[in-house]
Amino acid sequence: MSQQFHHQNDTKVISSSLLDNASLLFCGRFWKFQRKESQFQAFVKKFLASRVFMIIMISTIISNAIVMILWTYPKSRLPLFRFFEASEFFFLAIYISEFIIKLYADPIGFWEDGYNLLDVVIFFIVFIPHIIPKIMGIYYPYINIAQGIQSLRILKIITYSRGMRTLITSVGQIASIVASVLILFFVLMYIFAILGFCLFGVSERADLDNWGNLALAFFTLFSLATVDGWTDLQEQLDARNFLLSRVFTIIFILLASFVFLSMFVGVMIIHTENSMKKFERELTLERHTILMEEKQAILKRQQEEVSQLMQTQKNVDYSFAELVENFKKTLQHTDPMVLDDFGTSLPFIDVYLSTLDNQDATISKLQELYYEMVHVLRLMLEDLPQKEQSQSSEKVLTSWAHTFLL
């Protein structure tokens, strides 16, 4: 019994150790997989933010728009039917890939961006002409509407254009002001529509085609507000001898066209200009940030090279000139030279002071060499006779001066 009990305990220990090893192996592999997946996800995010992806998507959207333009011509629709069909599947594949990649890169943040939601709506609109014939048949009477709304595909370009997004944001910011202007304009048209109906749509000489009811009066006033064919409308009123028609027309055009519409356009221009200035400031700040990051990277590289130079000077018995030449070979002259905060680093100060010390030592040795040359020349002149001394002194001085100048 004791042997059987020990055997069972050994079996349990072995099985538990195997389970622990298996769980550790599984956790290790899962951690490696999760780490690789996070690295790949970071790579996908970097690719989505790159200029290459933006160029690919903008080119695809523009190409799709051009193909849709060609599809509207009856002469090219039948001969290029296969081309249109293949290009449609090609564009669908790109849009599906874009949706999957964006959703994989940020599954939660994808739904928080309004422009991504616009892409999702367009993504489902793209499939409507392919789904309706399968469900309702190819002779469904409203299939043309589904094909017509495919023009909304070009709205995907807004996602990749910061300028368009800025304009849309500015329009959204002034939505309340625009709504107030439009409400005032509607109130003005309502007052003049009732007045016009009572003046020109009730009497025996009534103009029933333009002022017969409130809806027609609204449409006529809209034509007057846009100053589109207002002379024809006024001629019809003059033909019926309405005395107040010209005063009515002039007052409404002054209020509607010169006041309210000008106010609407002015509000749009002012807020759009402010948004564009803000957009330019953001671009300037972004460029400055990128430039500072590049400077920091170059500064870090230069500091590392200076530190390596100092370490090499300590470990290897090189001359200072050789170290400087080796340092010059590491420099990349295509990069901008960073001077900000570079002179305050301790490695640079140490190398700079060492350079000054070497320069001082070199100048001191040159001065000693010239002093020795002058002393030797003086001794040589003292040993020569008087007559030869003057001639040789001139030659020696001339040659020494020539050597000194060289």
What tokens were used for 70? 């060609």
- Return the residue matching tokens 């190409």: 63
pLDDT of 13 > 50? The answer is: no
Q: How far does CA 51 lie from the centroid of its chain? A: 8
pTM for this entry? 0.55
pLDDT digits (tens, 9 = 90+) for 114-165: 888 888 888 888 888 888 888 887 777 788 888 888 888 888 888 888 778 8
Half-sphere exposure of 361 (CA within 13 A, CB side): 7
Confidence label for 17 from pLDDT (cuts 50, 70 and 90)? low
Average confidence score pLDDT of the chain: 77
Q: Is the pLDDT of residue 90 over 80?
A: yes
* Amino acid making up residue 228: D
DSSP 252-318: HHHHIIIIIIHHHHHHHHHHHHHHHHHHHHHHHHHHHHHHHHHHHHHHHHHHHHHHHHHHHHHHS--
Residue 270's nearest CA partner among 174, 181, 182 is: 174
Asked whether the beta carbons of 29 and 49 are under 8 A apart, the reply is no
